[in-house]
Amino acid sequence: MNCYNCGCRLSEHDFCTSCGADVSKYKAIMRISNLYYNEGLEKAQIRDLSGAVTSLRQSLKFNKNNIEARNLLGLVYFEMGEVVAALSEWVISKNLRPQKNIADDYIEMVQSNATRLDTINQTIKKYNQALAYCMQDSKDLARIQLKKVLSLNPKFVRAHQLLALLYIDSEQWDKAKRELDKCCKIDVNNTQTLRYLKEVEKMLMPDENGKTTAKNRNEDAYRYQSDNEIIIQPLNVHEPKGNAISTIFNVIIGLVLGIAVMYFLIVPSAVAEERTKSQIKEREMGESIDEKNGIIANLQTENKNLEADNRKLREDLEAYVGSDGTLKTVDELFAAAVEYITNKDALATAAHLENVESGVNLEETSEAFRLLYETLVEKVGAEAGASYYTSGSDAYESGDYDKAIEDLNKAVRYDPENGDIYYTLGHAYRRAEQKTEAIAAYTKVLELQPDTERARKAQNYIDELSAN
């Protein structure tokens, strides 16, 4: 303890050994402050936190520099959930004694974790909001808000008390008691808590006559708490008395009413439901049938088309295939080859080749087929052309113009550069009165034998035929 006048350390004397000031009263004040601090410490040790707050505040009223008292007050505030008040005390303590002060650790503990500080602030804001809701008579919102506050800071005594007060106001005595019990676990001797608790217990306990209290009397049930269960025991409930006849009568009435309800309400609705279901099913089946009919019609059309294709293909195949199943054109080509190799008969070979040519498109045949055909044509072409020219000329001379035209056309096929054949063919056409073909044949003569006597004659015939 230091002298208030000069700051020197005081001895056991009632005066300052340095400046001589009378410090007896000053020492008495310091002792009172310490006395209150000790009292506050004892109360804090038995968790009489509100009592400790009172004693420690008294201690600080006598000596604001009592650092231990101030630090303990901050700690008690912190335990009661009053974090800002605790911080304030610790900050003042730190300012009064900057060195070797445990308040440093306390402040560090709170401020080091930003999330924790934010949570503390949120808790305070929510509590203030809940209080505002109470003022505005929005008690449900206040209750919700206070529950949030207590989930964040379960040691906040004032929040517990306010929530208990709200429960008391709504006559939820068991819930109020639960909150107040929590308050008591934090602060055992809080007068406000104890006052509320007394009121709540009075409401929960039955009175001396075994009846419920004024509040519960209006209700038909007696509620109390057993561990975590809320027991609701109905009161003034008596079993109805009656004789057997009335019971049977009531049962019969019940049965009749039940049957009537079933007949008038349940059966029609069930019938309507079934009807709707059957209609839906019928509609679905109708749609299914339509769909299948459409598929059948498509398939029938497709079948007809396929049958037509099949018929056409069969006809084509019959044209190609002989009676023994082999291809006619191949037979003809083989026959031409055999005829040429065996008999060297140019006309017979040419006849087979003509059948091949008329029966198949040579561009679509295989290379071997085409090669054999062309080789045979080359071999017998000149001789066959000459033979057809001779037979065609003979037929013309004898007046058989159709035969002449046929043979001369064959001769032209094997010897297409021979103008004499075209000249005779022109005559045959002219005699057969086929003017267009005759002009075409004479025109060919003009191309193959220009500036000749035959060409001049051919021109005369063309002019004559054109004039007619």
**Interface residue list for other proteins (CB under 8 A):** 4-5, 21-22, 25-26, 29-30, 32-33, 60-65, 82-85, 87-88, 91-92, 117, 120-121, 124-125, 127-128, 131, 134-135, 158, 161-162, 165, 168-169, 192, 195-196, 199
Residue 115 class from Cβ within 10 Å (0-12 exposed, 13-18 middle, 19+ buried)?
Answer: exposed
Closer Cβ to other proteins, 81 or 419, answer by number:
81
Query: What tokens were used for 464?
Result: 């004559």
Nearer to other proteins, 167 or 396 (CB): 167
Nearer to other proteins, 124 or 412 (CB): 124
**Closest residue by Cα to residue 170 from 134, 145, 212:** 134
Give 95-100's long-range contacts (Cβ < 8 A, gap of 24+): 96/64, 96/65, 96/67, 96/70, 97/65, 97/67
SS3 232: strand
Closer by beta carbon to other proteins, 106 or else 127: 127
For other proteins, the closer of residues 63 and 349 by Cβ is 63
Residue 4 or 222: the one with the smaller Cβ distance to other proteins is: 4
- Residue spans of alpha helices (H) in 81-190: 83-96, 103-111, 114-135, 139-152, 157-169, 173-186
Backbone angles phi, psi at 221, to 5 degrees: -135, 150
Least Cα distance to 457 among 429, 409, 420, 415 occurs for 420
Residues making up the chain, counted from first to last = 468
Q: Got the DSSP string for 342-379?
A: HH--HHHHHHHHHHHHHHS-GGGS-HHHHHHHHHHHHH
Closer Cβ to other proteins, 139 or 457, answer by number: 139
Cβ proximity to other proteins, 4 vs 334, nearer residue: 4
Strands 221-226 and 229-234: antiparallel
Q: How far is the CB of 60 from other proteins (least distance, A)?
A: 7
The least distance separating other proteins from the CB of residue 179, rounded to whole angstroms, comes to 14
DSSP state of 210: S
Q: How far is the CB of 129 from other proteins (least distance, A)?
A: 9
Q: How many CA atoms lie within 13 A of 431 on its CB side?
A: 17
